[in-house]
Amino acid sequence: MQFGKISEKTKRVGELIRKITELGQEQKADINDVRNLIKLIETNYSDIQDDVFVSSVATVLREIDKDGRVDSSEKDLLLSFEKTLEEPISSEPVTEVLGKNFVLTGDFDIQGGKQTVEEMISAAGGVVKSGTSKKVQYVVRGNKGSEAWSFGNFGTKIEKALTLNLTGKAKIKIVSEEALLAYFKLNSQDAMDVLRNQEARFSAQWNTAKVVSNNFTGLTNGQQKVFDLVKDGHNVYLTGLGGTGKSYVLNKIIEWAGKAGKNVIVCAPTGIAALNIGGSTIHRALDINPNKTLQMNPYPTIKDGSPIPECDLMIVDEISMCRMDLFDYLSSVLFKAARIREKEGKPRCQLVVVGDFCQLPPVVQKSERPILEQKYGFDVGGAYAFMGKYWNKWTFKSVELTEAIRQRDSDFVAALNACRVGDTRGVHWITEYSSKHPIDNAIVLCGRNSKAESENNKRLGMLDALSTTYIGEKTGEVEEKDMPTAERLTLKPGARVMSLINDREDTYMNGTLGTVIKCKKDGVAVMFDGGRTELVPLHTWNVTKPTIVDGKTKSETIGIYTQVPLKLAWAITIHKSQGQTFDSATLFPECWDYGQLYTALSRLTKVENLFIAEPVNDSYLKTSPDVIKFLEGRYEGHFCG
């Protein structure tokens, strides 16, 4: 492979390889020549001894020295260095995929990038591994390789393959994206079907972007459809792009149900999500501890006085964050309650679940994964609710909202739609049209909590002002996960903060950013980014669980938490941003989880108000193949049929 650029380091490596080639070509190689080369490496190449070629040469020469002679196989090994240096990517075609192990590296030109290639390999009977080892047969390099290749920097996956090959420990083919695709075109209809399906899906996402007018009021067509289905008694799964008004129609349904005299329980998987909709957590609604659902066969318990048997309509928001074992247990309890209701002549509780599985998946701790896989008997992957035993028993009517309200730019909506299903062209469009300069006072979104905390603490420490620490007050059953903001909240004038509650649209709402002006005993004076200064007083959150009073479901307050409804907001994690909307943001785009990058990008209302702080690798955009199959009605889980 000709790169057109040669660094000083590459020249030196080339000189060493020529000496190695000469040694391999000698009719009768002398062991003293081997030892002289070892000494040369130790004295002249110590500064680049970590180079894959230098280190591999040293390893081979020391093995030869240990044997005391140069045999024919070792000569072949020495001669292979020059060919590999000139052509690290093999010119040989891919000959077989079925049963072979593959490692992918770099960004790929193909629509959908690396994820599409993974699915094509799987369809052709191959297996994609995360790292290079002796068990791997192919390392495939995407066409969008880094210019660093010109200077001998191949990346860890390829370097590991080169090391194994050059030291005679493996025979891994390092091939191009084109070589693999050429194999698929000639030999695998299934792989090509994956590509065609991807292209059709991506095209549909770009072409179905819709926005409503700025003066629109009422319900969109999709929202009206959901509302009517719920009124007609159907179980409904409501999904759609962020900003399409899922929460809005949810509130309309709750309002209607209350007027219709229905007993309604509103809940969500997490404490913050529950607070956002004025409901309780699923665990509190069921009155169970978090570990109950991890049991192999948890018995569905309905305690005396539980509101569950009286519930006519249950609404679960943020269903994408609800893990499969929790959804299964919730369903088993509702089905048990249905038998009680049937004896009273009442229909089974109606269930409405709301959320976007294309966003972040449920949290599965490392210690919990083997328990879940033992419980279900298969690799649970993202452990989404639809993967469990009960999802199909509800026969949900699925509605996807497509008319965006939050994002008013139809091109931006189209790009987000593309990102939602893994089309990297959406990321490319957003990157091209996003701001090229940092935006003053923009919130920073990043993947890791440590980075967000570090950024906030660093910025707070840089302010030359006295700090005030507000101590939250809690009574009753209040756990850390129920607290929207820190129990010890330290602020200073000049600190960037985010509101955690809705006041009024002309003042501040949940997610509104501002700057602290003054810390007072009874609250914090904040100049919000719209230019208005408001005193943000202490706020009290009620931690609730559903109960039954006189045959009606009510929300019983079991704990109270009082604190200033603000949090430091120079930076937050992408996970914490889910459900929020920001006027502007700076994004550090390194992402590794399904839906993570899409979640971050869809927090904005205008693409020009997004500054992307670092280059975006295509591999950062990850969409769960199980989610895509589910959305298209192709998911064949272990409990289907």
SS (H, E, C) 429-485: HHHHHCECCCCCCCEEEECCHHHHHHHHHHHHHHCCCCCEEEECEEEECCCHHHCCC
Average pLDDT over residues 368-392: 91
Euclidean distance between the first and the last CA atom of the chain, given in angstroms as a whole number? 52
- Over residues 215-225, the pLDDT tens digits come to 666 788 889 99
Whether the pLDDT of residue 43 is over 50: the answer is: yes
CB atoms inside a 10 Å sphere around CB 226:
28
Q: Is-same-fold flag (101-159+170-196; 221-406)?
A: yes
Q: How far is it, in rounded angstroms, from Cα 12 to Cα 217?
A: 70
Cα–Cα distance between 641 and 629 in angstroms, integer? 15
Q: Residue 129: CB partners within 8 Å, gap ≥ 6?
A: 101, 102, 103, 135, 136
Local confidence band at 502 (pLDDT 50, 70, 90 cut-offs): low
Average the pLDDT over 568-578 and give the result.
Answer: 87
Domains in the chain: boundaries: 8-86, 101-159+170-196, 221-406, 422-628
At residue 28 the predicted structure's pLDDT band, cuts being 50, 70 and 90, is confident
Classify residue 593 as exposed, middle or buried by CB count within 10 Å of its CB (0-12, 13-18, 19+): middle
Q: Is the distance from CB of 485 to CB of 610 less than 8 angstroms? A: no
Matching residue, tokens 């967000």: 452
Structural tokens at position 514? 């501002």
Q: What is the DSSP letter of 50?
A: T
Q: How high is the pLDDT of residue 92?
A: 76
pLDDT at residue number 489: 93
Q: To the nearest whole percent, how much of the chain has pLDDT over 70?
A: 90
Q: How confident is the model at residue 175 (pLDDT cuts 50, 70, 90)?
A: very high
Q: Flag whether pLDDT at 637 surpasses 50.
A: yes
Q: How confident is the model at residue 501 (pLDDT cuts 50, 70, 90)?
A: confident
Paired residues of 541 in beta bridges:
561
d(CA 625, CA 421): 9
Q: Give the pLDDT score at 3.
A: 39
Phi, psi at 539, each rounded to 5° = -130, 145
Q: Which amino acid is at 639?
A: F
pLDDT at 4 over 50: no
Q: Are 302 and 251 in contact (CB under 8 A)?
A: no
Decide if pLDDT at 16 tops 50: yes
Radius of gyration of the chain (CA): 29
Q: Give yes or no for a contact between 160 and 116, defined as CB atoms under 8 angstroms apart.
A: no
Tell whether the model's pLDDT for residue 508 goes beyond 80: no
CATH 3.40.50.920 fits 101-159+170-196, yes or no: no
**Confidence band (pLDDT; 50, 70, 90) for 149?**
very low
Locus of tokens 């950013």: 513
Higher-scoring residue by pLDDT: 202, 421: 421
Q: What is the model's pLDDT at position 565? A: 92
The model's pLDDT over 249-286, given as tens digits with 9 standing for 90+, comes to: 988 999 999 899 999 999 988 766 776 677 888 988 89
Lowest mean pLDDT among 261-270, 439-448, 547-556, 561-570: 547-556
Question: Domain 221-406 adopts which CATH fold?
Answer: Rossmann fold (3.40.50)
Mean pLDDT of 192-205: 81
> In 156-260, which residue ranges form alpha helices assigned H by DSSP?
156-166, 177-187, 189-207, 221-231, 246-259
Q: How far is CA 396 from CA 15, 234, 235, 604, in A?
A: 68, 7, 5, 30
Residue by residue, DSSP assigns 321-332 as GSBHHHHHHHHH
